[in-house]
A and B are shown apart, each in its own frame.
Chain A
């Protein structure tokens, strides 16, 4: 039975519904949280509805099936602007959003990371700030999120069995004195919550055909629909949010699958379109009352866009590895995730195994490269191990999502331009991480190590950040915008700083908390 077949439906004129824009980690979790409280919720999702049976074991074909490929532009000195000028992000346009593509790593932020300014002190040319919400406040929601998502090594859930790529990282890590295990993953190591166990398929990025990896597509959304209070409308591309004379949002205008303009009235609107589309939507919703876009009196909408410090190290060996077999992110080292400025940078980073199939290895190993250095590495594909390096990057006002009025999407709306310059702290951290990654593989006899530059971003953060003071950001510690009480930010755009860890678990914890607080506000008539 299709997900949407027996769902409740709400009228376009129903002005009592909460409209959630986006169905990924933030939007999907929020919508289910509201529906479980009996609050009627309409989810507008730009992408199409797929089932797990649709997912493909073919990297390029899957990319065409799932990725957000609507036009975007780039600027700034980051290498992606050269390598993939039209593809700053690798995120999903489908029901379930990027929870279809994510690798499953579910790490809590460290307590000090919620207070980056306090702990790191001011950093030149960065816009550091403490979060208005702290670790202790979020901890119970982390616990609920881990249980709902089935995170390994929590709630008595065993770890995933390590694959070949893990074995290589693990052996190197042990030689260097690092701790390493198969991590906290929202991938079932045993059947749980109606989802199967991981079959070590190796196509985590292409959508988990077995549903072993948590995704809102087959967890939060069906649960919410079953309450009778959630309607999801796939292929509904939101163009703008409207407001009344008092400056409160009251409707969402979108284009349906036939390209027909529709208007859904709303009591509350929650934007969860990922950190590129969410600010774009607020900016594209400018009106005579809000000429700079919605919730933008601070001028901070779109600013402080973060994408994590990232990079990869691939290493070749004289014996086979077959790294592509099994979970993509199969092992994690967290021993460099702490804050230790003696390393020459603030914040920290995680090291996580990563593998790419042959087609994407060719595309991403060293974009633009050719000749013998490139082909020598490719010739060693089956003897290759790999890891991803992911760490805290610095929020900067100048790293921002803005509207490119020169380029329009299929509906005539200006597209997002993504501007990013690496901060010296990001560069120093990347260098340190590359060296440690190389040392790990060197310790177990790597013949050659290759430093791979950042991929199009899957971690897109900030851009509508939380702040205590209205002038420093866009929303408060609940994600409610400072300017418009019934407009919320519900995705990674809320992040005040990026922390080192993969963001999904924190997005889910924030969404669970937001749904609870929003429910209270609705019942009290506060919004």
Chain B
């Protein structure tokens, strides 16, 4: 079987699949359905699940949905430059874990994550995640950032709605601009 044929078969059957666990969160409100799925190009499902869990250890946000961490896996999966690094890094991680890192309990998993901190494999995941994890609408909703919603300006949408501190003296602040016309 040719390599491309094998890849085609692999591509056609591999996906990272999950469901929103915290249905009352902001993300659930944005999501069209509770189930989510990420089609994979190069990674196997197990590799993708391992990378997702690894990313959760690197940037642990307890209540942040797996669906957001999946953006990191997506970006690692679609970057051909890092495939061999992911392959060897994951093998190394499993070897350190005595065969199956994903099967360990969380504390044991973390011990091995600490041990690989600073390696090229770890840094590639960290530097991808620090962008991918926080640069999407679901993360914005989770962390309370309004992103492109600010494009029209917050002048009439809460730019100064903080009420738990006294208002500044008028001379130290300023007045809203006149309405046009």
**A158-B175, A182-B173, A375-B60 are known contacts. Are A321 and B151 too (CB-CB below 8 A)?**
no
**A320-B144, A320-B162, A374-B59 are known contacts. Are A57 and B150 too (CB-CB below 8 A)?**
yes
B171:A191 contact, CB within 8 angstroms: no
Whether a CB of chain B sits under 8 angstroms from the CB of A362 is yes
Partner of B168, one of A170, A197, A358: A170
| In the bound complex, CA of A320 to CA of B164 (Å) | 9
Partner of A358, one of B117, B139, B154: B139
Task: Write out, one digit per residue, whether chain B residues 141-161 have a CB within 8 A of any chain A CB (1) or not (0).
Answer: 001111110111111011111
Which of A229-237, A258-266, A305-313, A322-330 lines the interface with chain B? A322-330
- Beta-carbon contacts under 8 Å, B107-131 to A: 117, 126, 130-131
A202:B160 contact, CB within 8 angstroms: no
Q: How many residues does chain B have at the interface if contact means C-beta atoms less than 8 Å apart?
A: 45
User: Which residues of B have CB within 8 Å of A203?
Assistant: 150-151
Whether a CB of chain A sits under 8 angstroms from the CB of B67 is no
User: Which residues of B have CB within 8 Å of A433?
Assistant: none
Which of chain B's residues has its CB closest to A323's CB?
Answer: B162
A326:B159 contact, CB within 8 angstroms: yes
Which of chain B's residues has its CB closest to A180's CB?
Answer: B172
Which of chain B's residues has its CB closest to A327's CB?
Answer: B159
User: Which residues of A have CB within 8 Å of B155?
Assistant: 198-200, 326
A167:B160 contact, CB within 8 angstroms: yes
Shortest CB distance A198–B (Å) = 7
Whether a CB of chain B sits under 8 angstroms from the CB of A382 is yes
Whether a CB of chain B sits under 8 angstroms from the CB of A349 is no
| In the bound complex, CA of A180 to CA of B135 (Å) | 33
Whether a CB of chain B sits under 8 angstroms from the CB of A381 is yes
Which of chain B's residues has its CB closest to A158's CB?
Answer: B174
Whether a CB of chain A sits under 8 angstroms from the CB of B176 is yes
| In the bound complex, CA of A386 to CA of B85 (Å) | 37
Shortest CB distance A331–B (Å) = 8
Interface centre among B60, B61, B148, B168 (most CB of A within 10 A): B168
B60:A159 contact, CB within 8 angstroms: no
| In the bound complex, CA of A163 to CA of B158 (Å) | 9
| In the bound complex, CA of A160 to CA of B135 (Å) | 30
Whether a CB of chain A sits under 8 angstroms from the CB of B98 is no
Task: Write out, one digit per residue, whether chain A residues 362-382 have a CB within 8 A of any chain B CB (1) or not (0).
Answer: 110000101110110011011
User: Which residues of B have CB within 8 Å of A190?
Assistant: 177-178
A201:B61 contact, CB within 8 angstroms: no
A361:B173 contact, CB within 8 angstroms: no
Which of chain A's residues has its CB closest to B173's CB?
Answer: A162
Binding site for B on A (CB under 8 A): 57-60, 152, 158-164, 166-168, 170-171, 180-182, 188-191, 197-203, 209-210, 319-322, 324-326, 357-359, 361-363, 368, 370-372, 374-375, 378-379, 381-382, 444
Instruction: Sort A-B residue pairs by CB-CB distance and give the 5 closest, nearest first.
Output: A199-B153, A382-B144, A197-B177, A159-B174, A326-B159
8 example contacts (A-B, Cβ-Cβ < 8 A) are as follows: A161-B159, A164-B161, A188-B177, A189-B177, A198-B177, A200-B154, A202-B154, A362-B130
